[in-house]
Structure 1
Amino acid sequence: MADRLAELAGHLRQDARIAGSHLLLTVLGGSIYLPPTVRKLIYRRAGAPVESPPGFGFRFAGRPANLRVGPDVYFNQRVFIEAVGPVVIGSGCAFGMEVMVVTSHHELGTDGRWSIEATGRGVTIGDRVWVGARAMILPGAVVEDDVVIAAGAVVTGRCRSGGVYAGVPARRIRELVPAQAPPRA
């Protein structure tokens, strides 16, 4: 009986921690009623080294220290980031409505059973990446610099620089033309 009570108390502590994190990082950190500088400050005080504020309706799960966001990043409404593993977002990126970035992974055994314990697989998103509405970036994905992810795409691996990726799973469908230097006068 004592073991069961100790287990229950442990679950209650964990639930309280998750609820407090949700209140701070999702309810307040994604509130439309707080200015961007305050939303950014909430994340920084929680341990997330962010240089850009989350957008309205931003949802977060995981460890704040696992989230790193560069300057000039735009998050549209209801973006969800789960940072069980590290999530690194470069500078000058834009995330469309309801984009999901997920890092939790459940190992699959040879017997077909999946592990109940989640492990984190980091996600890296380079500079100047545009992620379309409702795209999903899954555990272990790497999106290099200067990439466009189409709306609704599911990124499972590496998206190499200078391309447009679309589909499920996301595949390179087009090359991006590098920006030309302005002509010299």
Structure 2
Amino acid sequence: MSQQSQTSETRQGRRSWRRKVALFLLIAIPAGYMAISAQKSRGSGEDKQENAAATGLTHSWPSKVQRRIYDTPIPSYSVDVAFYESNSWKRSQMYVQFVTNPKGLDKFLGRLGADRDVLNDGRITIDAKTAGVVGWKLDADGKWAGGVIDQKDPEPTLDITVDFDNPDHPKVYVVSTVTP
């Protein structure tokens, strides 16, 4: 065999090998990317499904966007903050609870354009069925005061009930309802 034909065969062998590797990479890289993306997407969907199926309060602060949409300006330094959001075609609601001090309660009401006059002693404005959604027990025993803040659409309606059993640290319950 001549040296020239041997060199030609070697070149063809290298080209063939390079083509095979290039073809493999052209198929394997996108396939791998698609598999990883599908897995991440599936995981994301499962997380969203879990969040949507969650019932009860989430013990943390609602996002700033949620607080703005539902007009629930929780005062700084509040504790035992928890919330739950419920959405449907007809209405969206956010349930919020927090413990504050008298100054914080006044600040909360003030940001809503109201004051303590909106709260009526002995009144519980959140009915048992609504409260039961998140496990609140707002019964007649206790020092309650409540009021409703009706705002012009598209602003939410706020049902506010305050537990004054500890007047230095009132516990505020709010159900904010937005209707499209």
Which TM-score band applies after superposition, normalised by the shorter structure? under 0.3
Larger relative strand fraction: 1
Q: What TM-score, normalized to structure 2?
A: 0.24
Higher relative contact order (CA 8 A, sep 6+): 2
Q: Which of the two has greater helix per residue?
A: 2
